[in-house]
Amino acid sequence: MAAISDTSGGRNMRIGILTSGGDCAGLNAVIRAVVNRAVRKHGWQVIGINQGTDGLIARPVRAMPLDFDSVPGNIMMMSGTILGTTSRGDPFALADSSGTVTDYSDAIIKGYHELGLEALIGIGGDGSLSILSRLAAKGDWNLVAIPKTIDNDVGLTETAIGFGTAVQVATEALDRLHFTAASHDRVMILEVMGRDAGHIALHAGIAGAADVILIPEIPYTLEAIRTKIRRRAERGKNYNLIIVAESVKTEAGRPVTMEHGDGRRRYGGVGQYLAARIGEMTRAETRVTVLGHVQRGGIPASSDRLLGSAFGVYAVDLIAAKNFGRMIAWQNRQVIDVAIEDAIASYVSVDPDDALVHTARGLGICLGDDADD
Ligand code: F6P
């Protein structure tokens, strides 16, 4: 980084960009759009910060100048992020493997100022945007935020980068499971991500013609699922496709989680729980597919490439207008901006009265709460 001279203002302005939190498809479309707009329209320098805020903790700071050659058209087809990212946790209180907690905020702020940046574009989900917002307040950063998350739970935007691809991947998985389920007369259970929200399961469940969709926002009973399976059998359909969001609890309300190597518990296992219970109750052969991080990778859907491009261009224009503390959002077919704080404060899970919940019920899909669906 030492090779980049310090600059400020006007056409010599220098801005930074980082990706934070879990990766997803469409992040490279944002980076490409930011570089194109910033360089073409304004003649600015763009500095890509590596591994999110971890890159600002490192000494020397981990960052690289981005120009047209860094963002060729073919990065639109690449998932992940060419900058790298971090999801290690809250840098204001980060625990190491021995349990020692350290506040890295001063180091991050110092790293940022060493780069001579006049503004930062931070791409993240609600957790990352909240951290970046706190860093911006403490470190006097000019922050513009872009929402990305396959979970689609960031407030004040109808969609976030990565969601479209995750839904596409989950839909394709149901498509593939359909015929193997039918061939063997099996109950196929697909467990999908989404953290505490059921958006992926609901969208993919409708698009992929699931028979049962289970989401954390709608409590279910195993009896309702059994009735659905029985009624389909009465109509000669001896197979069933069930899609379940990872944060759906046991019937008794216990979260299903797994401890990982880093000692943190993450969602996982509800598919196996359901398979065992449904197998016991119906004697049906059950099989489970856990889709996992496949939903974050692969070839980005066109919707994420478009959203990423639109958000990236808009973010640069917001900086040019010196309009900071804003998050780019998609509402009513328009790209707009909202206060980052307001977006973080309005987490969005599935509304049980949502239009797509009605769609699912209208199609006769069982949502687990009513055997007469
Ligand atoms: O928030 C995105 C997400 O993919 C969730 O859907 C999932 O629960 C979690 O991240 C997985 O996190 P990790 O990448 O740490 O396994």
Query: In terms of domains, do 124 and 149 share one?
Result: yes
Residue 57 within a domain: yes
Residue 6 within a domain: no
Find the Cα–Cα–Cα–Cα dihedral 351, 354, 360, 363, rounded to 10°. 150
Q: Is the dihedral of CA 98, 103, 105, 110 positive or negative?
A: negative
Residue 276 within a domain: yes
Query: In terms of domains, do 157 and 176 share one?
Result: no
Residue 345 within a domain: no
Query: In terms of domains, do 325 and 281 share one?
Result: no
Cα 164 to ligand 1 centre (Å): 16
Query: In terms of domains, do 262 and 287 share one?
Result: yes
The phi and psi torsions of 212 (rounded to 5 degrees) equal -135, 135
* pTM of the shown model: 0.95
Q: How many other C-beta atoms lie within 10 A of the C-beta of residue 130?
A: 18
Cα 27 to ligand 1 centre (Å): 16
Question: Which atom of ligand 1 lies at the shortest distance from residue 266's CA?
Answer: 8
Q: With DSSP H G I counted as helix, E B as strand and the rest as coil, what are the percentages for the chain, rounded to 5?
A: 40, 20, 40
317 lines ligand 1 (CB under 6 A): no
pLDDT attached to residue 12: 81
pLDDT attached to residue 4: 36
Q: Looking at ligand 1, which residue's alpha carbon is closest to its atom 8?
A: 195
Query: In terms of domains, do 203 and 146 share one?
Result: no
Measured CA to CA, the distance from residue 356 to residue 371 in angstroms comes to 18
pLDDT attached to residue 11: 64
pLDDT attached to residue 373: 44
- Domain count for the chain: 2
From 150, 262, 265, 291, give the residue whose CB has the most ligand 1 atoms within 8 Å, as the site to mutate. 150
- Give the number of C-alpha atoms closer than 13 A to the C-alpha of residue 114, restricted to the C-beta side: 19
Query: In terms of domains, do 248 and 324 share one?
Result: no
Question: Which atom of ligand 1 lies at the shortest distance from residue 267's CA?
Answer: 8
Question: Which atom of ligand 1 lies at the shortest distance from residue 194's CA?
Answer: 6
Question: Which atom of ligand 1 lies at the shortest distance from residue 125's CA?
Answer: 1
* DSSP class of 363: T
Q: In this structure, are residues 164 and 207 in contact, taking their beta carbons and an 8 Å threshold?
A: no
Cα 22 to ligand 1 centre (Å): 6
Residue 256 within a domain: yes
What CATH number does residue 20 fall under? Answer: 3.40.50.450
- Helix H or strand E segment including 285: strand 285-290
Q: What does the pLDDT profile of the chain (373 residues) look like in tens digits?
A: 434 333 444 568 999 999 999 999 999 999 999 999 999 999 999 999 999 999 999 999 999 999 999 999 999 999 999 999 999 999 999 998 888 999 999 999 999 999 999 999 999 999 999 999 999 999 999 999 999 999 999 999 999 999 999 999 999 999 999 999 999 999 999 999 999 999 999 999 999 999 999 999 999 999 999 999 999 999 999 999 999 999 999 999 999 999 998 888 999 999 999 999 999 999 999 999 999 999 999 999 999 999 999 999 999 999 999 999 999 999 999 999 999 999 999 999 999 999 999 999 999 999 999 745 4
Q: How many other C-beta atoms lie within 10 A of the C-beta of residue 77?
A: 13
Q: Which residues are designated catalytic?
A: 151
pLDDT attached to residue 10: 54
87 lines ligand 1 (CB under 6 A): yes
Query: In terms of domains, do 356 and 217 share one?
Result: yes
Query: In terms of domains, do 157 and 56 share one?
Result: yes
Residue 306 within a domain: yes
Cα 161 to ligand 1 centre (Å): 14
Cα 254 to ligand 1 centre (Å): 20
257 lines ligand 1 (CB under 6 A): no
Query: In terms of domains, do 224 and 262 share one?
Result: yes
Query: In terms of domains, do 66 and 85 share one?
Result: yes
194 lines ligand 1 (CB under 6 A): yes
Residue 3 within a domain: no
For the chain, report the end-to-end CA distance as a whole number of angstroms: 60
**Residue at token pair 């593939």:** 176
195 lines ligand 1 (CB under 6 A): yes
Residue 338 within a domain: no
Query: In terms of domains, do 52 and 154 share one?
Result: yes
Cα 83 to ligand 1 centre (Å): 19
Query: In terms of domains, do 25 and 118 share one?
Result: yes
Q: Helices (DSSP H) in the chain: which residue ranges?
A: 27-37, 54-57, 105-114, 126-139, 163-184, 199-207, 222-234, 270-282, 302-320, 340-345, 355-362
| Residue ranges making up the domain that contains 186 | 165-297+352-362
**Residue at token pair 């993450």:** 266
What CATH number does residue 193 fall under? Answer: 3.40.50.460
